[in-house]
Structure 1
Amino acid sequence: MMSKNKILFLAANVLMMAAFACRAETIVVKGQGISFAPSVIKAQVGDIIAFKEMTGHFVDPVANLWPEGAEPMHSQMGADYNYEVKKEGLYVFKCPPHWGARMGAVMLVGNPADLSSTLDKYFSIAETEADAKPAKGLLKKFKETLAK
């Protein structure tokens, strides 16, 4: 038989998990032409990023423009895809076939304390690493969005 304290503990945990699940949002990102819409995303840990209308597109992280330890995004060509955000930070992702045309997006998750230094680091990487160069415009747009 369970003690009263154990029952209360289990009930409190169930309520906390339910409250967390209720706060989570689904943010839809669509593949439109050679763009993701939206291309700047603000999310919270626990949110689902739902990629829709992905005909001719798929999603991958941009190397070195991803929070350390965060699970990478990898979808299949043309398939809808859900990504559950599990870590706070700044994410840059791309559609590899259209990356030369700058089909990508920037996602801010939570309120990371090191956002300014991370953004400076990402700009530096975008200046020097060939695969990251298309991210410069996305990062600039993201920075302008922050200033508003």
Structure 2
Amino acid sequence: MFKSVLLAGVVVGALAVAGAAGAAELQVKMLNSGSQGMMVFEPATAKLKAGDTVRFIPTDPGHNVETIKDMWPAGVAEVKGVMGKEVVVKFAKTGVYGFKCMPHWTMGMTFVAKVGDGKPNAADAEAAIAKAPPLAKKRLTADFATLK
């Protein structure tokens, strides 16, 4: 009896670890200069699964990360990071998530994540992109297209 209870505990523990191991973490750097030019998140996009996380890493104290208004699934708490500090975001809900560095928003410093199929708010995300400042709009349009 003791052996079967012990075995059951080991199996349940292994399944819990396997479930946690299925989630991924992506590191995104906030850069003054990168492969897309000046003031960028690198990488600029991500296709994620529910449960995945993104760790935003500032490489300079002049960067932050925050939500792009209207480019966010309904019912999900918005993000507003502190200047020069790492921010970790866990994605629990399917949808499109837009991020910006507020000081460099007009310079096009943006990041877009698509979680699952992204459908719940894809149309809202496209409408938000249309209202973005010109350089942000240009990057967001190109990056959003790669996620479709």
Q: TM-score, normalised by structure 1?
A: 0.76
- Match of residue 119 from structure 1: 122
**Structure 2 counterparts to residues 1-148 of structure 1, below 5 A:** 14-33=13-32, 34-55=39-60, 56-112=62-118, 114=119, 118-127=121-130, 129=131, 132-134=132-134, 135-146=136-147
CA contact 2:48–2:114 (8 Å) conserved in 1: yes
C-alpha separation in 1, matches of 2:31 and 2:106: 16
C-alpha separation in 2, matches of 1:110 and 1:82: 19
Q: Over residues 47-69 of structure 1, what are the superposed CA-to-partner deviations in whole Å (9 max), with x where a residue is unaligned? A: 12111134211111011110111
Which segments of structure 1 move beyond 6 Å, counting only runs of 4 or more? Answer: none
Amino acid at match of 1:44: K
Aligned residues: 136
Deviation at 1:81, TM superposition (A): 1.8
Gapped regions of structure 2 (runs ≥ 5): 33-38
Q: What RMSD, in angstroms, separates the aligned Cα atoms of the two structures?
A: 2.5
Deviation at 1:142, TM superposition (A): 2.7
C-alpha separation in 2, matches of 1:75 and 1:125: 20
Label 1:71 to 1:17 Cα distance change in 2 as closer, same or farther (>3 A): farther
Residue aligned with 2:97, SS: strand
CA contact 1:54–1:77 (8 Å) conserved in 2: no
Deviation at 1:18, TM superposition (A): 1.8
C-alpha separation in 2, matches of 1:100 and 1:76: 19
Gapped regions of structure 1 (runs ≥ 5): none
Q: TM-score, normalised by structure 2?
A: 0.76
C-alpha separation in 2, matches of 1:45 and 1:76: 25
Deviation at 1:39, TM superposition (A): 0.7
Label 1:139 to 1:100 Cα distance change in 2 as closer, same or farther (>3 A): closer
More strand by share: 2
Residue aligned with 1:71, SS: coil
Residue aligned with 2:27, SS: strand
Residue aligned with 2:84, SS: coil
| Percent sequence identity over aligned pairs | 29
CA contact 1:123–1:139 (8 Å) conserved in 2: no
